[in-house]
Structure 1
Amino acid sequence: MTITARVATILGVVAVTSCSVRSNSSPPPENTSTSTSTRVTPLPDPPERQAIDAYLAMWREMAIASETSNSEAPGLAEHAAGDALVVIKNSLAEDEQKGLVTRGSPKSDPQVTNVDRSGGVVTVVKIRDCGDDSAWLKYRKGTNQPADGQGGGRRSILAEVKAQPDGSWRVTRFAVQGVGSC
């Protein structure tokens, strides 16, 4: 039997068994047999996916914290560490001091550019993004007055995301370039 014939036979069996209809209106008999169910454990996300998820979560948490310029928002440290966390907290503290808040949210399109496999284990993932902050702008607190005359735009962002001892991933460094850099 050819492969095509085997596939056609299998598809025919599947179609027949999936299209069977009960003509009798009585409920089906209860299943009295004991069966063992097999639990399917999903595979863990690959490190590159975990790094991108951490990167995106960092920006989401920063957008939430920037609504009130809260440099102590607990979600920030869940997704950023080291220099990245210091930059975020300083930026939010500076906005708070100036009476600014940020509304909206940034858009991201992160791509993995490099993976460090020290000892066969992925420990560092580098990301390049062309982020768009045109819908994430600063305003004077309590008003609809823009903080400055500039709108946002597309910016090149380079980030480093590292595996942490607890198994999580956190952005440890990032650099945002000027509008139009990507």
Structure 2
Amino acid sequence: MTTTARVATIIGLVALTSCSAPSDAPPTPGTTSTSTATSLAPLPVPPERKAVDAYLAMWREMAAAGETSNAEAPRLAQHATGDALIVIKNSLAEDDRKGLVTKGSPRSDPQVTNVDRSGGVVTVVKIRDCGDDSAWLKYRKGTNEPADGQGGGRRSILAEVKAQPDGQWRVTRFAVQGVGSC
């Protein structure tokens, strides 16, 4: 049976069943009703959602690595690459040299601002965020003593997330502005 014939058959069956008795009508005596479960394939995840998920995962992994200032945390590279990964690793290494760790977690509200559809395929997604790091602060290792000059608050963040050759999405660069920038 050709695809066209299958589609026509399905449309015909839908038309026949839609013309039957209303669903709130009692079944006619002597008939039984059976139903079959239909399995639908899950909808594909849109690239914009994959990009936002990678962005959020980058911050979660950075927060986890920040608990020990581990610049070599292996999961960082699963969500960041290029300049973004270099910035994260340098920041964690600097905190380690200073004897600092980061406790808590950042809050994000990412919004997709631009989608590059080169050749009809989404390859780059740009994100704007007003991240809040007021519950994600630096402390001296081994103590609950806050680092000097600490503060936190809402900051404007711009990020670029790209599809990678392995099919994953990773943050390639990001820029964080000062407290109060959003």
TM over 0.5: yes
SS at match of 2:109: coil
SS at match of 1:65: helix
Using the alignment, how far apart are the partners of 1:180 and 1:10 within structure 2?
59
1:108-166 Cα shifts (integer Å, max 9, x gaps):
00000000000000000000000000000000000111112332000000000000011
- What residue is the counterpart of 1:111 in the other structure? 111
- What residue is the counterpart of 1:181 in the other structure? 181
Using the alignment, how far apart are the partners of 2:22 and 2:106 within structure 1?
49
- What residue is the counterpart of 2:148 in the other structure? 148
**What amino acid maps onto 1:12 in structure 2?**
D
Query: What do you get for the CA RMSD once the two structures are aligned?
Result: 2.2
- What residue is the counterpart of 1:45 in the other structure? 45
1:32-56 Cα shifts (integer Å, max 9, x gaps):
xxx9865422122100000000000
Where structure 1 has 5 or more consecutive residues not aligned to the other structure, the ranges are 1-5, 18-34
User: Is 1:127 matched with 2:139?
Assistant: no
Using the alignment, how far apart are the partners of 2:37 and 2:23 within structure 1?
26
SS at match of 1:50: helix
Where structure 2 has 5 or more consecutive residues not aligned to the other structure, the ranges are 1-17, 28-34
SS at match of 1:41: coil
Check conservation: 2:57, 2:79, Cα contact below 8 A: yes
Using the alignment, how far apart are the partners of 2:64 and 2:51 within structure 1?
20
* Aligned CA distance change for structure 1 residues 10 and 175 (closer, same or farther; 3 Å): farther
* Aligned CA distance change for structure 1 residues 10 and 67 (closer, same or farther; 3 Å): farther
**What amino acid maps onto 1:79 in structure 2?**
H
**What amino acid maps onto 2:63 in structure 1?**
A
* Aligned CA distance change for structure 1 residues 10 and 155 (closer, same or farther; 3 Å): farther
Find runs of 4+ consecutive structure 1 residues off by over 4 angstroms: 35-38
- What residue is the counterpart of 1:67 in the other structure? 67
* Aligned CA distance change for structure 1 residues 98 and 38 (closer, same or farther; 3 Å): same
User: Is 1:12 matched with 2:12?
Assistant: no
SS at match of 2:122: strand
Query: What is the percent sequence identity of the aligned residues?
Result: 82
Using the alignment, how far apart are the partners of 1:64 and 1:82 within structure 2?
20
- What residue is the counterpart of 1:98 in the other structure? 98
Check conservation: 2:138, 2:150, Cα contact below 8 A: no
Using the alignment, how far apart are the partners of 2:37 and 2:137 within structure 1?
52
